[in-house]
Amino acid sequence: MSKIAKLTKCEIIKMYSRGAVIGFICAAIVVLAMYSLYLKEYEPQFFNSSKMGNWRNYIEQEANYTISLLNDQSIGMTENVRIQYINESKVYDYLLRHNIPPIAEDTAASMVLKANNLFIYIIVCIIMISCFFITSEYSNKTLGRLVMSGASRWKILTSKYLAILFFAIVFMLIFAVFTVLCSWIVFGFDDFSTHYVYFDGVKVVERNVMVQMMLNFLYNTVSLVSISSLAVFVAVLTKSNLIGMSLCFAVSVFGSLFSSVFAGTDWLKYTLFANTDFSRFLNNEVAFDNYTPAMSLGVLGIHTIIFVVGAYTVFCKQDVVI
Amino acid sequence: METHSLEITGLTKKIGKKTILDNVDLKIKKGMIVGLIGPNGAGKTTTFKCCSGLSSITSGDILVNGHSVKKDFESAVEKLSYSYGSENLYPFYDACENIRSLLPLKVITKEDIRNALSVVGLEKVMNAKIKTYSLGMKQRLSLAMAFLGKPDIILLDEPFNGVDPQGVVEFRSIIRKHRDDHGTTFVISSHNLGEISKVIDSYVFMNHGHIVKSSSGLDSGKKVFTLVLSETGCISEYLEQLGTDVVVKGNRVTFLLESSELNGILQKLASENVTVYDMATESSLEKEYIEILGGENIE
């Protein structure tokens, strides 16, 4: 086994032997269970299973209402809202033409799609764990011992980085599995054969619910890699758990809000703030005109490279305080 | 040809404009136990940090078993162990977990761990969390970790800190036994000159980032005795006959001698009816420390 593989294995064991990490995973399951119950008991449901019998009627009504809104000149509709209604009517048209019923909001299929809203919880956990995982080596003064373990410093940081990414992916998988389990327990068994239809900004897309959920998680993984890199960089740079976490939270949690508020500012799309939620492209919630996933991926990639190079430079050059 | 475990050539370390180490040259032979002695800020720990790769080197080079720390870091530190105190362990792990986590690349069996912990007297508490350990116990664990993985050279930074007197005696014997059994080279820094003098073969004095003096051998068993006597004539002649350097100032006689020879001196004084008013001892290392450093920063 190579030195990096041995070090990574050791880091993964270290990570999972901490109570806090297991605590985050258990808390994720609790959050999912509570969110499922909230959706069932308190979330307003416009289209539920009871209306499934005459769903075509319901969709036709919705489509007609949307068209009437678009035709009503007295409504001072902004261009963005207008486009949104046009896209909605395209989806309604697609559903009716292909005889695809919409997803009832009181079903497990609806729950697995809405679980994407809880991705922020995963982000928060990953930031906390990444920062703590790096800064605790400084606060425990154990970094010196690791540096002397017989591997170059870049290998030590790589092993930590890989352990964090491994944890992030495992956490996402656990989250995905428990999303399905919780939705089955709360809403009843569903084989997820239902199809989800939406407008992706260019065309109407029809996709299996399960595939859509997996894509949501996959797109979120892109954001997660970038956020993890930022967390590692900030932790190495500041060596402070508190500063590291605060900075990462500010970028990831408030970043989306910030970019929505300043959506009109075109240059903002090149900042990390505007790109932390990559799954927006799946749901056509992009705040900037002519902004493609490839462009966002490029911006995230450049930021990730800057963070990784920065982290390695600082980690490999700085003297270790003992 | 003599083999050196550690060869330091022109080692200079600067932090900003401040020079911490200034052109340090040092060669340590394989299997030696060398004391690195000096006041706070002399550069002892920085020297250790440079040797183990924890600090960058401004200029010069360090060869560990012939491998350059600058150019071939992994090979250089592979057989080097550096123990730098007790507060560098995971508090939420037990001793075994700490060893496994902090020495991930060493090939260590359960038996090795058990043996190492047994040598330092921690076998019974090996399953207790480190946060429950005392300072001395952590120091013992650090020493045990330094021995694991069969290193060729071990750097010990203040190994006697926080260790009780019985522990210090045990530490000395463990270090000597390990050297005798495995031929390991030890470089030990300590402020406890009395204790370090009992374990080292030679010493290096450092001050202000320079090597002030190094010796190839040490009269480890000898001590400096100062007697205050009613009459000094006969005893000074007697000591000179023994070949010992004697300094007489008034009624005060200072000389270097093996402790076992003191009895003979006292019997001689009694037979000559000379009264001993006072007697003080210090290790030869302490005396040298004071002479070399001019009494500055005596700890």
Taking Cα atoms as reference points, which of B156, B179, B214, B183 lies closest to residue B26?
B214
Give, for B7, the enclosing helix (H) or strand (E).
strand B4-15
Residues A266 and A123 in one domain: yes
Q: What is the pLDDT of residues A201-253, one digit of tens each?
A: 788 999 999 999 999 888 888 888 888 888 999 999 999 999 989 988 888 77
Please tell me the predicted confidence (pLDDT) of residue B299.
40
Answer yes or no: do A144 and B88 touch at CB < 8 A.
yes
pLDDT(A133) > 50: yes
Taking Cα atoms as reference points, which of B275, B240, B83, B263 lies closest to residue B161?
B83
Residues A177 and A150 in one domain: yes
Cβ contacts from A onto B, under 8 A: 79
**Which of A6, A141, A320 has its CB closest to that of B105?**
A6
Select from A82, A104, A126 the last residue of a domain.
A104
Note whether residue A110 is domain-resident: no
Strand B33-37 versus strand B202-207 pairing type: parallel
Query: Across residues A137-142, what is the average pLDDT?
Result: 92
Residues of chain B numbered 10-39 and touching chain A (CB < 8 Å) = 15
**Which of B56, B73, B92 has its CB closest to that of A319?**
B56
Please tell me the predicted confidence (pLDDT) of residue B142.
93
**B87 chain-A contacts, CB cut-off 8 A:** 141
User: Which residue from B minimizes the CA distance to A14?
Assistant: B101
Separation between Cα atoms, residue B186 and residue B176, nearest integer Å: 9
A129 vs A50, residue with greater confidence: A129
What are chain B's domains?
4-214 (3.40.50.300), 222-293 (3.30.70.100)
pLDDT(B217) > 80: no
Query: Across residues B107-133, what is the average pLDDT?
Result: 93
Mean pLDDT, chain A, as a whole number? Answer: 88
Q: What is the pLDDT of residues B27-50, one digit of tens each?
A: 999 999 999 998 888 999 999 999
Query: Across residues B225-251, what is the average pLDDT?
Result: 84
User: What is each CA distance from B189 to A148, B205, B250, in whole angstroms?
Assistant: 19, 10, 37
Residues A67 and A171 in one domain: no
Answer yes or no: do B81 and A148 touch at CB < 8 A.
yes
Please tell me the predicted confidence (pLDDT) of residue B244.
77
Please tell me the predicted confidence (pLDDT) of residue B263.
83
**Which of B52, B102, B106 has its CB closest to that of A142?**
B102
**B156 chain-A contacts, CB cut-off 8 A:** none
Give, for B279, the enclosing helix (H) or strand (E).
strand B276-283
What range defines the domain where residue A88 resides? 46-104
Residues A197 and A306 in one domain: yes
pLDDT(B220) > 80: no
pLDDT(A127) > 80: yes
Q: What is the pLDDT of residues B154-167, one digit of tens each?
A: 999 999 888 888 88
Residues A99 and A197 in one domain: no
User: What is each CA distance from B245 to B138, B193, B238, B242, B285, in whole angstroms?
Assistant: 43, 22, 11, 9, 16
Query: Across residues A24-39, what is the average pLDDT?
Result: 93
Query: Across residues B185-203, what is the average pLDDT?
Result: 87
Query: Across residues A120-141, what is the average pLDDT?
Result: 91
Note whether residue A299 is domain-resident: yes
Structure tokens at A87: 């896209």
Note whether residue A112 is domain-resident: no
CB-based burial label for A176 (10 Å; 0-12, 13-18, 19+):
middle
Separation between Cα atoms, residue A212 and residue A195, nearest integer Å: 9
Note whether residue A221 is domain-resident: yes
pLDDT(B4) > 50: yes
Separation between Cα atoms, residue B238 and residue B231, nearest integer Å: 13
Q: What is the pLDDT of residues B74-95, one digit of tens each?
A: 999 999 999 987 788 999 999 9
Answer yes or no: do B54 and A10 touch at CB < 8 A.
no
Residues A124 and A210 in one domain: yes
pLDDT(B61) > 90: yes
**Residue appearing with tokens 């000096």:** B38
Query: Across residues A85-100, what is the average pLDDT?
Result: 92
* Helix pair angle (A3-16, B95-102), 10° resolution: 150
Note whether residue A322 is domain-resident: no
Note whether residue A295 is domain-resident: yes
Residues A273 and A168 in one domain: yes
Residues A98 and A177 in one domain: no
Residues A154 and A31 in one domain: yes
Separation between Cα atoms, residue B299 and residue B295, nearest integer Å: 10
Query: Across residues A304-321, what is the average pLDDT?
Result: 91
Q: What is the pLDDT of residues A101-123, one digit of tens each?
A: 999 888 899 999 999 889 888 98
Please tell me the predicted confidence (pLDDT) of residue B298.
41
Answer yes or no: do B74 and A10 touch at CB < 8 A.
no
Mean pLDDT, chain B, as a whole number? Answer: 87
Best mutation target among B44, B48, B51, B103 (most A Cβ atoms within 10 Å) is B103
Please tell me the predicted confidence (pLDDT) of residue A60.
93
**Confidence class of residue A287 from pLDDT cuts 50, 70 and 90?**
low
Select from A104, A127, A149 the last residue of a domain.
A104
pLDDT(A310) > 50: yes
Please tell me the predicted confidence (pLDDT) of residue B70.
92
Residue A300 has φ and ψ, to the nearest 5°, of -60, -40
Lowest mean pLDDT among A6-15, A37-46, B256-265: B256-265
Task: Say if CB A124 and CB A254 are below 8 A apart.
Answer: no
Structure tokens at A319: 């003297």
Start-to-end Cα distance in chain A: 30
Structure tokens at B4: 């050196």
Note whether residue A253 is domain-resident: yes
**Confidence class of residue A264 from pLDDT cuts 50, 70 and 90?**
low
User: Which residue from B minimizes the CA distance to A7?
Assistant: B104
For this complex, say whether ipTM is above 0.85: no
Best mutation target among B54, B82, B100 (most A Cβ atoms within 10 Å) is B54
Residues A54 and A198 in one domain: no
A30 vs B296, residue with greater confidence: A30
pLDDT(A286) > 80: no
Answer yes or no: do A322 and B49 touch at CB < 8 A.
yes
Q: Which residues of B138-162 are buried (b: 16+ CB within 10 A; e: fewer)?
A: bbbbbbbbbbbbebbbbbbbbbbeb
Note whether residue A109 is domain-resident: no
Interface of A with B (CB under 8 A): 3, 6-7, 9-10, 13-14, 17-19, 140-142, 144-152, 317, 319-320, 322
Residues A97 and A200 in one domain: no
Residues A126 and A70 in one domain: no
Number of structural domains (chain A) is 2
